Amino acid sequence: MGKKFSKLSQSSSNDNENELERSNVPKPFKYVDGKRYHNVTSLRYHLPNDGDEFDRLQMQHYLSRYIWQSNFSAPVHELLRNGGEDIRVLDVGCGPGTWILEMSSDYPQTGMFHGIDIAPIFPDTIKPFNATFSIQNALEGLNFPDNHFDYVYMRFLTAAFSTEQWETIVIPELVRVTKNGGYIEIMEWDVKIYGQGPIAKRLMDSFLSDLRSRGINDYIVEVIPEFMEKINQLTNIEHETCVNPQGLYGGQLGKLALDNGISIFRTYKPKFSKEYNMTSDEYDKLIEDFIKEMDIYKPHNITHRFWAKKI
């Protein structure tokens, strides 16, 4: 199913882009070093949204599902299984929409699964009947009424928001649009390689420096529970972690995690090769050595899931 939806998502997003290119509205994309990025200048999110990034996001989805053996942790399975036209689910920052496509197929009884993103990179036409998408910027407020969704989900947006935005805009908005008795869930990576070797440290130091230069808190996972508690509208706040290997030594799971990291470091090739005063070939060799190093040091990553019930 992953490959099928990947092709559909890419095709639909191209249709969306072509339509916007022909209109008079502001262009949704810009191009830097041959890669396509969103064109919202006020946002801090810095990764591309081209074909290579589509593939990485698809891989990241299956990696996280493999790690957790599930697409979510909040206790909403029975609600979604029983379903009903009035049951609504929201995915904030849905990207190519993989999570929405899977969930809407897994729970056809649920009335609506809706994904939002800042750029039209989600499927526009070919999708399950109960899956919908729209372009929205969460920092401008979610374009939904209060108490509208039974379950609100968001993941992997550490690199998108400042600490203040997390606390004063993002989490309050997730709670606002959630029904009383409904659930919110946030999933994030711990932006760190534990037990890393010298090459991994060099690459990660540069990556973290870039995040911080954009005003990003790379340790946001440490304060998300605090921000959820401050809302005073959430109860039963839960926090779980999963450790996963990164490297070929960790089998299929380790390879997926490694491939995810390699994809990000290759995206940074123009910036980091200049920073390191390396040629293109020298940077490629550094990535090859990084791969070998991972099997020597056997490092790991940690992912976090936070969920709570709205009262």
Task: State the average pLDDT over residues 56-78.
Answer: 95
CB 310 within 8 A of CB 179: yes
Per-residue tokens: 270:
């123009």
Q: How far apart are CA 208 and CA 298, in angstroms?
A: 21
- Residue with token string 């262009």: 27
Residue 243 has pLDDT above 70, yes or no: yes
Per-residue tokens: 246:
């990164």
Q: What residues form DSSP beta bridges with 239? A: 306
Per-residue tokens: 65:
């599902």
CB 177 within 8 A of CB 142: yes
Q: How far apart are CA 143 and CA 56, in angstroms?
A: 28
What pLDDT score was predicted for residue 126?
83
Kindly list the distances between the CA atom of residue 37 and the CA atoms of 3, 22, 92, 120, in Å, as whole numbers in the listed order.
23, 19, 18, 12
Q: Which pLDDT band holds residue 48 (cuts at 50, 70, 90)?
A: low
Per-residue tokens: 298:
């056997």
Q: How far apart are CA 152 and CA 223, in angstroms?
A: 19
Q: What residues form DSSP beta bridges with 189? A: 303
Domains by residue range for the chain, with CATH:
2-192+216-245+302-310 (3.40.50.150)
Q: What percentage of the chain reaches a pLDDT higher than 70?
A: 86
Q: Counting Cβ atoms within 10 Å, is residue 254 exposed (0-12), middle (13-18) or buried (19+)?
A: buried
List pLDDT tens digits, range 175-191: 999 999 999 999 999 99
- Residue with token string 């340790």: 219
* Count of helices and strands (H, E) across the chain: 11, 9
What pLDDT score was predicted for residue 213?
92
Q: Which pLDDT band holds residue 125 (cuts at 50, 70, 90)?
A: confident
Kindly list the distances between the CA atom of residue 210 and the CA atoms of 44, 115, 217, 248, 272, in Å, as whole numbers in the listed order.
11, 28, 11, 27, 10
Q: How far apart are CA 95 and CA 115, in angstroms?
A: 8
Task: State the average pLDDT over residues 67-72.
Answer: 97
